[in-house]
Amino acid sequence: MKLSASFAALLALVPIAAAQQSVWGQCGGIGWTGPTTCASGSTCTVSNPYYSQCLPSTGGSSTGGGGSPTSTSSAPGSTSTAKLNSVAKAAGKLYLGSATDNPELTDQPYVAILSDNEQFGQITPGNSMKWDATEPEQGVFTFTQGDVIADLAKTNGQLLRGHNCVWYNQLPSWVSSGNFNVSELTSIVENHCNAWDVINEAFNDDGTWRSDVFYDTLGEAFVPAALNAARTADPSTKLYINDYNIEGPGAKATALTNLVQSLQSSNVPIDGIGVQGHLIVGSIPDMKTQLAAFASLGVEVAITELDIRMTLPSTDALLQQQKTNYQTVIEACQSVAGCIGITVWDYTDKYSWVPSTFSGQGAACPWDENLVQKPAFDGIVAGLS
């Protein structure tokens, strides 16, 4: 399995101690001390004994909470009859995949598209392999929900990206507030990553190290500790560092480059860089340059969480611009041999994380809320052709 990462903006935008949890946020579970009621339009739903999540209420708008307008455009949609993974493989990529999440798996039409391995050759669990889901109490590992996704991938003949091992978010309080000393926390990271394999979002946007329980206690040493433990656990697993806002050249991409070079010179296992790709219609960074620069380090590169959001409501012009932007991103990966695959952060606007986090924005995925392909789908196909 491979590692992926996360999004710092969430910390700023999701009120951690709010009386009501926002849509998609955690609202319950063993050990949870945060809000247990959900914002209007969403319902606290049990994922497992350790994790309940505010999910949009069924029957209404899929955006919930903020009441953001959804796409009402009747613009010409996708005309392509191609299948994305088939096109990606024909273009020399390892896969084109999608994120998914356990609560969505009761939606049969959704699962039918997700499970078509000509459409998606890889899946990433959106939540159920994160620390709060897999080790909610110290030493108590629960893989039930994660295994559901792993089993689905296996049944479908799809690759799986493990998401994720070490991340500041969705971290149970026994880790974040345990006041562990260096040797205790090192051992906790090693133990957790014994079954996983990831470093997630180590840097702030200016390239400085992110302050969290791992860096504040262990300094940079948490990175080799997690990577070495993961390699020991599974020598054949590809080990990734994953982050956002590294899609184009800048301080954060430079910091990650320096980290990878430093790991390589110390013989710490590092196989890949995950570039998340949470982008905005009309402002796509120079990914071609940056993906090539990462690949030149001698590691794999993958676009791990692609979506391209817009200010709602969507219009014909925005959907066409989004199509062009998807094509540009895919072409960037296509132009770099070391860019091995692309994962969209769920394929449909029906289950996108965007509207609940960025008020008034959405329509970021290549399928719309009714599971109908959008022009963006054709942009992906064109980028691989």
Selected range binding ligand 9MR among 1-9, 107-115, 143-151, 217-225, rule: CB under 6 A:
1-9
10 binds ligand 9MR (CB under 6 A): yes
Say if residues 301 and 243 touch (Cβ distance below 8 Å): no
Q: Which is nearer to ligand 9MR, 177 or 232 (CB)?
A: 177
Single out the catalytic residue among 201, 247, 305, 369. Answer: 305
Determine whether 305 is an active site residue: yes
Smallest CA-to-CA distance from 23 within 6, 47, 39, 9 is with 39
Nearest 10 degrees: Cα torsion 16, 348, 243, 248: -130
Smallest CA-to-CA distance from 331 within 320, 342, 345 is with 342
305 binds ligand 9MR (CB under 6 A): yes
22 binds ligand 9MR (CB under 6 A): no
- In the list 1, 2, 6, 365, the residue contacting ligand 9MR (rule: CB under 6 A) is 6
Q: Is 364 helix (H, G, I), strand (E, B) or coil?
A: coil
Per-residue tokens: 10: 């969430």
5 binds ligand 9MR (CB under 6 A): yes
Within 13 Å and on the Cβ side, how many CA atoms surround 18?
Answer: 16
- In the list 1, 2, 7, 65, the residue contacting ligand 9MR (rule: CB under 6 A) is 7
Selected range binding ligand 9MR among 4-12, 184-192, 222-230, 358-366, rule: CB under 6 A:
4-12
How many residues does the structure list for the chain? 385
Selected range binding ligand 9MR among 6-14, 62-70, 78-86, 210-218, rule: CB under 6 A:
6-14
CB-CB neighbours of 168 under 10 Å: 21
Helix H or strand E encompassing 109: helix 108-114
347 binds ligand 9MR (CB under 6 A): no
Q: Is 291 helix (H, G, I), strand (E, B) or coil?
A: helix
Interface with ligand 9MR in residues 84-103 (CB under 6 A): 101
- Interface residues toward ligand 9MR, by CB under 6 A: 5-7, 10, 24, 101, 126-127, 169-170, 276, 305, 353
Catalytic residues: 305
